Structure 1
């Protein structure tokens, strides 16, 4: 299957077939990260959400058990390196043979998710690769992505930021490509460490990275990205010592084409590079929104 959404829909269909009229709730770490708390993936119409904290506490206590038995429920646990990555709560007693079958299928589903995730990873940086970027933008702008609401006040919006390592060619020329690859890997690690597990961090190409993330407004976004910029600027890289990054960002708002979105962020990035580097630029501050859109329009006739 090509997307997580296809897998989510298929496992929901299977659960409905195997457990008709049985209340169920499924929780998952959306990015398959051990650092991320579980989010509700699906809930049958007959169910009320169970106490996730209670289920997690039992799963953490009974580390060797895949199926947890309750007074009037079962809970199937998905684990990765002993960490709890998912839970399927079944809200009434069913035959154990059926429970084991469901447990097996849930593990197949999770392995398929992992296989899909691995096909989208850049081998050097372990970030999402360029081929995955367009799909994620489309998922977000169409509202089809697996995006859980955070428990915060106010509406948050999606933004795209492009990051470029300043004078990276000098690094390769002076220290060689082995050190250059190490710099790429360490910058990627700084980005992963300074964004949330639910954000999407990509190696966009060469020494350029992209991040899709949520923020309340452009001022908050600017502060967040400037903090990331400062983290990289203060980091001591082997042999190279210090280097900087330039950042351009734009809002994902009424974007008709992925190319239009990237063009806006790229113009902001170009402005940052042209005006001193080691800085963050908001596309909206350039005041060229109409001009940028016209530049991405393709005349077919």
Structure 2
């Protein structure tokens, strides 16, 4: 399994680097990194896990024997992080160097992924023998490239004021979520599809969040306090939603959330809890601020623009009926309070 320096072909490495840096999505970049390391070093088992805001593992990608697994800790047998790795991670957290551990089944080499100012994840290599110096240099070199690329990628994806994901990133995310499993925009092998953990099959929800009477905040207190409201609201979002949920600032006072929950009741609980948290928060100088929220389920192979439009219609209903509330598009249609967008389009056509 070990490689000698003379065996490593420059052309193969450069080709893999081209594939690696062609990605414009963080998860695709991480997946490509594992596959690149597997190809170059002939490693059968690799893992990458990210840390959340309290430095706990929350998102895992594992490439094992040619099969890709993705999910959260414990979603599947392959997505359980062994105790020895968690212990090694504690020691590696403040070091730039990899940590090497001997286990009963071989060797575990742990590389911290370092962002601008902190460790935000780890790459784990499971091997039968200890890595050679050449192999370790290759891993560190690839991680250096990924670190620099991460910084560029995150800068292009984030809203400058709040640090949430921006509108461009939302457009890409919703398109990918709606894309058929085998479309060009969402390539997925048979192995990847059948090994998705159970959590991945939970329904996805899009919530459009709008700050009530935000114009009055700007007019009365000025844009500095208005920006502070936006920033503090984004911080409440980060506290209320899970680390794997995607949080966006769409523009102005409008925010979006892409989240998966077990069912609609769970989704309602999540978004209602957030609404109450905002209402209970004392915003400096401004005082109480409320939000209106429209929610829709993101169905497989749906049309992204229609899904966003449906969430918007639920939001508008909330705005027109008292504000400071959460409405689900499907509930409004079933109760006859609004007309389904598909039926409405068909009527207009004829």
TM range (shorter): 0.7 to 0.9
SS in structure 2 of the partner of residue 2 of structure 1: coil
CA deviations 1:177-222 (Å, max 9, x no partner) are 1111111111111111100110000001110100000112222211
Which structure carries more relative contact order (alpha carbon 8 Å, separation 6+)?
1
Matched, 1:41 2:61: yes
TM-score by length of 2: 0.75
Q: Out of 126, 129, 139, which is 1:90 matched to?
A: 126
TM-score by length of 1: 0.86
1:172-183 equivalence runs, <5 A: 172-183=218-229
Q: How large is the RMSD of aligned CA atoms in angstroms?
A: 3.2
Matched, 1:134 2:171: yes
Q: Report the Cα distance in structure 1 between the residues aligned to 2:159 and 2:57, rounded to whole angstroms.
A: 24
Correspondence for 1:18: 40
CA deviations 1:42-75 (Å, max 9, x no partner) are 3231899685321121231254362222333241
Q: Is residue 208–residue 293 contact of structure 2 (8 Å, CA) maintained in 1?
A: yes
Change (3 A) 1:45 1:199: same
Matched positions, count:
296
Q: Report the Cα distance in structure 1 between the residues aligned to 2:206 and 2:187, rounded to whole angstroms.
A: 16
Correspondence for 1:229: 275
SS in structure 1 of the partner of residue 37 of structure 2: helix
Q: Is residue 36–residue 197 contact of structure 1 (8 Å, CA) maintained in 2?
A: no
Name stretches of at least 5 consecutive residues in structure 1 with no aligned partner: none
Q: Report the Cα distance in structure 1 between the residues aligned to 2:246 and 2:120, rounded to whole angstroms.
A: 21
Which segment is superposed worse, 143-152 or 38-47?
A: 143-152
Matched, 1:104 2:141: yes
Matched, 1:52 2:89: no
Q: Report the Cα distance in structure 1 between the residues aligned to 2:28 and 2:145, rounded to whole angstroms.
A: 14
Which segment is superposed worse, 182-191 or 36-45?
A: 36-45
1:237-256 equivalence runs, <5 A: 237-256=283-302
Matched, 1:291 2:340: yes
Correspondence for 1:120: 157
